[in-house]
Structure 1
Amino acid sequence: MDRWNAMAQELARVEGVVGVCLGGSRARGAHHPGSDVDLGLYYRAPLDTAALRRLAAELTGAEVEVTEPGGWGPWVDGGAWLTVDGQAVDWIYRDLDRVRRLWEQCAAGRFEIGVQPGHPLGVYSHAYLGELAMGRVLADPQGEVLALQEQVHVYPEALRRALLDARWEAGFIVAGARKGAARGDAFFVAGCLFRAVGVLVHTLHAHERRWVVNEKGAVASADRLPSAPPDFALRAHALFATVGTSPDELTAALDAADELVAEVCARVEA
């Protein structure tokens, strides 16, 4: 951990960087030796990306592509992928003022879902808050990041209610997929199933006041929640393993999805 603390201190000296937070599996203590080191660079424009490029070159001994803010899309933002002494290290930008605005919106029960390359479910705006809540602040000279982290540690009841209210979409999209099933449109049906399961994952996490930050591992995470139906992950994954291409196969998958939707909704009624 000392080496990442040292790197965080160097990053915090770059103009525009307000604080640095360790995220991902390493922050949660769920990593393995090959896990990436995810460092969130909480910044306020203008960000001195030239200084970041120089630091990246010093750390890796080679030129590294360091993006401008927004270089990786509207929600992932930007950053760099480094290899330092054989270890993969990701620098990921987070606009601190934007994170604060999203906190205010989510605390008031409003969230949005943004289109983002690499995230087929889209990015739910409260993912930024979950990253910070589950992260470990390594550098924060002015205390701004820690102050915001203290706020987001409490899951907003208004956000929970909004996500639970949004669970209607799961059943709605499965119903809409039946028109595609009748035509043997496996592409459309599979997309609808993916979206439906994604909604259920967010529903279950919200019910338990737990943050979920992206699609990776989200079904398995939902499966471990007390309110999850028995064998939730097994049944969710089975939808995609057996979706088929014929109208009968597609309809059977949608029937199974309807059962799963009904069980989840019944368990989160309270």
Structure 2
Amino acid sequence: MSEIQLFDNGEFELRIVPDGDSFKVQAPGLARSLGFNEARDMLRTVPEDEKGSEIAPTLGGNQQVWHVSEAGFYRVMGQRQAARIKNDAIRKQVTRFQKWVFGDVLPRLRRGELVAQTRTPIPEDYAAALRRLADEVDARAIAEKQRDELLPLAEAWSDLMEADGTFDWAAVAQIFARITGGLGRNNFLDLLRSDDLKILKANNTPYQFKGMDRFFKVIPTKAGRDATPTTRVTADGLDWLRKRLIKHFNHQSTLFAIGEIA
């Protein structure tokens, strides 16, 4: 296992492990700082490919410890909305932690301090030193590009999410603008109603399919003869839609490769 890098401000700490050009964050400390009772409560909304576990040193000896990937870290940071936490002390704690992460930890990671602090020993000759330096510069540039692309998504996540944890169609269209080429709300809905995708009916409620209740929240109409139900998209629904949109556009054009959009 790579060397653990500790970020500590006296109140909070993050244990971060280099992972190629990216990094992983140990889940227990991250969950406590975000006000969760246990790491598993935080990890419920994290996709399988953005979390994992491995043997790591702890105060109680080597133990199996859960972690989140860089993308999973941005996801849980964005999903945890302090304004929705009822406990005043925990709400203020989460606010302080997020301010520290976005204002201090992520800028340090973006500057490559994680790479610098875990650098391998100096090579034995000049040519090897140049190769090592070039590799580090390339790795740092790739890592910074990935973080710069994902960080705005993490920061915008809480702004787009409603209090019940769902998204309206305008927000969903905005989230997937990179995949769809910038389709607005109405054109995006037309796409979902098209014969190619056939995800939504004419009234914008989803067709019946396995897991529909997990992906969409349909709010019944209370009054009005011509009124239609309101459909909102859950966090799981976003991932479900993302996979189908990527597959659709990959078949339609060479501009979007499968897996290009995280």
Please report the TM-score for the alignment, with normalisation by the length of structure 2: 0.31
The answer to which structure, 1 or 2, has the higher relative contact order (CA under 8 A, 6+ apart) is: 1
Please report the TM-score for the alignment, with normalisation by the length of structure 1: 0.30
Larger CA Rg, structure 1 vs 2: 2
